Chain A
Amino acid sequence: MEVTEVQSFNPPLGGPSALPGGGGGGFSLPASRFSSEDILFCIDVGPETMVEMKVNGPNGRPYTRLESIKQAILLFVHAKLTINPDHRFAFTALSKSTYWLRKEFSSEVDSAIAALRGLSVDSSSSHADLTQLFKVATHEAKKSRGQNRIFRVILLYCRSSMPPQYQFPSTLKLFTLDVMYLHDKPGPDNCPQMVYDTLVEALERVSEFEGYIFESGQGLTRALFRHMCVLLSHPQQRCMQDEMDVPKSLIKKSPAAETAQGDDSVVSSQ
């Protein structure tokens, strides 16, 4: 049986909120300790990042996955700082193992731009090993937690036939792991579903808070950007991924809209 898309967690529009209950859908904003984040990006630089997306750049040729990823990261950094200028970012790259692009955490956009410029593809990469990433993240997370920050790793992974290998660090759940997985369509020579499942397993074991994983095999930049926006979610305020109800569609609740749309995406304020 040909599977055209790996199992995805795209929720139906207007899906349920995290908690049961009427009225406001059960979401509350209790006064609780709320930390700024230290976010470590880990960007795959293996050869599959040179695969083209389905969208053309300004010069007429299609964006590569890596170019889209860079743009997606800038989108994330800008948006995250608009939300709260106290969040900070650092950058690593993943070829066979992980190496630093920028080690100091900073809330300056310029330092993100400079780090991303330092990205270069390693066409020789075969298997990726996340052990070093987990070790580094555990070490850095301890420092961040000492400063009353929470630590997050966002992994951007692009290999369709190579599930990542990893050994878990001795202390788990010191940081939250999110994954954005870009892959080819499933075929006889690849195994994106297996890669995806391996990533899910890592995320579930390692993550302090609910980690989110998104995948995209369609080559659409706007899907990548949309997923990155969902990844903006602050880990301390997340619901389970299955219960995610964003982005919400803004359709007016006018009588005309109701009859035209049927029961499709009409949001009630009750």
Chain B
Amino acid sequence: MAIDTVPPLVAAQLNYLISHCPFSVKVEQMWSGCKNPSLLDRFTLVIPYCLDYIKWDVIYNAMYPLAAPDVIFGPEDESFQPFYGGNEKSRKNSLADWNSKDPARLLSLIIELRDAYIAYQRRRIEEVDDDRLKFEISTMLSREGIEMYMTSCTDKPEEVKFAVPLLDMGLNKLVAGSTWRHPQKIYLQVVFPVGKKHSTPPPPRLKLISSAELKALFSIEDFRLPPWLDGMCTAEYLPTLEEMLESQIKDAVSSVEMRRKFITALVPLFGRPIEADPVFCRRATFLASSGVFTFLVHFSLSLQFPKQQAGLTLQSSQHFNSNGMPVKSPNLSEYPWSPRWEPSEMADRIFDFLADECLNFKKYCNQLNQQ
């Protein structure tokens, strides 16, 4: 039975790309382009661009392992010809200077092509006959790292999207102990309709987008964007937005400490936690007993804590449902709560509540078992 394999030189370069790429690139599919169908020498790369993805096919040839690969861009990018034309000096590019034995070559090629793609999109967009857009480009681009993209479906009005990185504040360093693997970023996506003439150009569509891991600290869904006033441009809009965002992020960082104090206040009553999140302080689990009934107490703290009270569930160690799952209570929310109490008072009230409630939970578990 032939097992599909990737030719070793290709595999070396692909693995290097995946593990060293500064942006998170993925392989969508692999297939064979040569006579031996079990040699996978072609693949589709999914590359993040402008808060979306572009897909490029990378075409090696297993029969000619020393040759450089070919790259095929998306059908809407027919005019993207990165290494084409120019004089002899500009011929120095990753493809012309290929070394199949160097595992880092595919990575440099992809980075080079992506940079060329950024420049290509920018050239196309600069050619668009739209005064507002031209003004935006001229005022926005003093900020680094902006990517832009123009959709060009003929049956839709054209739009130009900008991905504007916000807050150069080193988000990764904000929370001590965080093991965020990638640099956390927040972007403003600005989408301008173009092509139609208006007396006053309509406001763009605005959306905040953040990297996924940031959710543990701060939720952009809960952030209300400041209004876009008539006649505004992005360069005017950004400072207010960033000020608000920075202030709310600072609040989010202090919230971590409030949650930490609460968890710490539970310890004299509930004992040392079985496990508590020491970085974002979003959850803590304790082990408790009432007579011979032993159970877990799970606390979950939302980003709105203490305005929103801690979520509380119990889990039995002795009662199991038909799937072998230890029985859990529903979320217990009727306990006394005020965000203005000191953490020790919050803990006392919850403790007293649970001293009674765990007996109800035991009854509930026993009833389930009898069914």
Contacts and interface: CB of A to CB of B under 8 A. Distances in A.
B274 interface: yes
B271 A29 contact: no
A267 B315 contact: no
Contacts of B219: none
B111 to A, nearest CB: 25
A63 B105 CA distance: 61
A31 B325 contact: no
B294 A226 contact: yes
Interface string A80-122: 0011100000000000000000000000010001000000000
Contact of A246 (B176, B274, B356): B274
Interface in A207-237: 221-222, 225-226, 228-230, 232-234, 237
A7 interface: no
Nearest to A253: B352
Contacts of B278: 29-32, 34, 237
Given A75-B317, A222-B292, A230-B287, A246 B272 contact: yes
Nearest to A230: B287
A31 B175 contact: yes
A225 B294 contact: yes
Interface residues of B, number: 51
Interface in B171-208: 175-177, 179
A32 B177 contact: yes
A252 B326 contact: no
A174 B112 CA distance: 41
Contact of B354 (A29, A34, A250): A250
Given A31-B279, A79-B315, A267 B268 contact: yes
A184 B224 CA distance: 65
A34 B179 contact: yes
A252 B317 contact: no
B317 A269 contact: no
Contacts of B296: 79, 82, 229, 232
B287 A229 contact: yes
Contact residues of A: prevailing secondary structure: loop
Contacts of A34: 177, 179, 277-279
Interface in B304-337: 315, 317-318, 320, 324-326, 328
B253 to A, nearest CB: 11
A24 interface: yes
Nearest to A84: B275
A229 B271 contact: no
A246 B286 contact: yes
Interface in A6-35: 17-18, 23-25, 27-35
B298 A82 contact: yes
Given A29-B263, A82-B315, A247 B294 contact: yes
B355 A18 contact: no
B274 A229 contact: yes
A200 interface: no
Contacts of A82: 285, 296, 298, 315, 328
B288 interface: yes
Interface stretch (B41-49, B95-103, B242-250, B343-351): B343-351
Contact of B268 (A18, A24, A229): A24
B285 A83 contact: yes
B15 to A, nearest CB: 15
13 contacts: A27-B272, A31-B260, A32-B176, A75-B317, A82-B328, A83-B283, A221-B318, A222-B317, A225-B294, A226-B289, A226-B294, A228-B317, A234-B275
Interface of A: 17-18, 23-25, 27-35, 71, 74-75, 78-79, 82-84, 109, 113, 148, 221-222, 225-226, 228-230, 232-234, 237, 239, 244-253, 267-270
